[in-house]
Amino acid sequence: MKTRINPEDVFRIVDKHNNSQGAIISILEDVQATYNYLPEAALRIVASRTSHSLVDLFGVATFYRSFSLEPRGKHIASVCMGTACHVRGSRQVLKSFEDNLRVKAGGTSTDGEFSLSTVNCVGACALGPVAVVDGDYYRNVKDGDVSGILDRASRIDGALKMTDDERVFAVSVSCPSCNRSLLNDEHLLDGHPMIRVTASFGRKHGWIRLSSLYGDYRIQSEYAIPKGVVVHFFCPRCHAELRSGRLCPDCDAPTILLLVRGGGTIQLCSRSGCKQHFLDLGG
Partner 1 sequence: MITLRINGVTAHVENGTTLLEAAEFLGFPIPTLCHMDGLSPYGACRLCVVEIGEVGQSRLVSACTYPAEEGLVVRTASSRVVSNRKMILELLLASCPQSKTIQDLAAAHEVRQQRFRQEYEDCILCGRCVRMCEEQMMAKAIGFRGRGENRSVGTPFDVKSEVCRLCGACMQVCPVCELRCTFTEPEKAICGGCANLSPPCVDMNEYEDMMCYMNPCVACEIVRRDGELTAKEIDDVVV
Question: Which residues of the chain form contacts with partner 1 (CB under 8 A)?
Answer: 2, 4-5, 7, 39-41, 43-45, 53-59, 62-63, 69
Residues 130-189 that bind ligand FES (CB under 6 A): 130
Residue 62 CB, nearest distance to ligand FES (Å)?
Answer: 24
State which residue, 39 or 82, has the beta carbon closest to ligand FES: 82
100: left (phi over 0), alpha (psi -120 to 50) or beta: alpha
State which residue, 5 or 33, has the beta carbon closest to partner 1: 5
State which residue, 55 or 224, has the beta carbon closest to partner 1: 55
251 binds, among partner 1, ligand FES, none (CB under 5 to 8 A by kind): none
Residue 44 CB, nearest distance to partner 1 (Å)?
Answer: 7
Residues 9-48 that bind ligand FES (CB under 6 A): none
Q: Is 51 in the site for ligand FES (CB under 6 A)?
A: no
How buried is 256 (Cβ within 10 angstroms: 0-12 exposed, 13-18 middle, 19+ buried)?
buried
The DSSP annotation for the chain comes to -PPPP-HHHHHHHHHHTTT-TT-HHHHHHHHHHHHSS--HHHHHHHHHHSS--HHHHHHHHHH-TT--SSPPPSEEEEEE-SHHHHHTTHHHHHHHHHHHHT--TT-B-TTSSEEEEEES--S-GGG-S-EEETTEEE-S--GGGHHHHHHHHHHTTSS--B-TTT--BBP-EE-TTT--B-EEEEEEETTEEEEEEEEEETTEEEEEEE--BTT---EEESSPPPTT-B-EEE-TTT--B---S-B-TTT--BEEEEEETTS-EEEEE-BTT---EEEE---
Binding mask 119-138 for ligand FES (x = CB under 6 A): --xxxxx--x-x--------
How buried is 204 (Cβ within 10 angstroms: 0-12 exposed, 13-18 middle, 19+ buried)?
middle
85 binds, among partner 1, ligand FES, none (CB under 5 to 8 A by kind): ligand FES
Residue 67 CB, nearest distance to ligand FES (Å)?
Answer: 24
Residue 62 CB, nearest distance to partner 1 (Å)?
Answer: 5
Residue 145 CB, nearest distance to ligand FES (Å)?
Answer: 16
Residue 83 CB, nearest distance to ligand FES (Å)?
Answer: 6
40 binds, among ligand FES, partner 1, none (CB under 5 to 8 A by kind): partner 1
Q: Which of 26, 48, 83, 140 binds ligand FES (CB under 6 A)?
A: 83
Span near ligand FES by CB under 6 A; candidates 37-45, 77-85, 135-143, 196-204: 77-85
Residue type, 181: S
Q: For the chain, what is the largest distance between any 2 Cα atoms, rounded to a whole number of angstroms?
A: 67
Q: Is 105 in the site for ligand FES (CB under 6 A)?
A: no
Q: Which of 38, 61, 80, 268 binds ligand FES (CB under 6 A)?
A: 80
- Binding positions for ligand FES, rule: CB under 6 A: 80, 82-85, 121-125, 128, 130
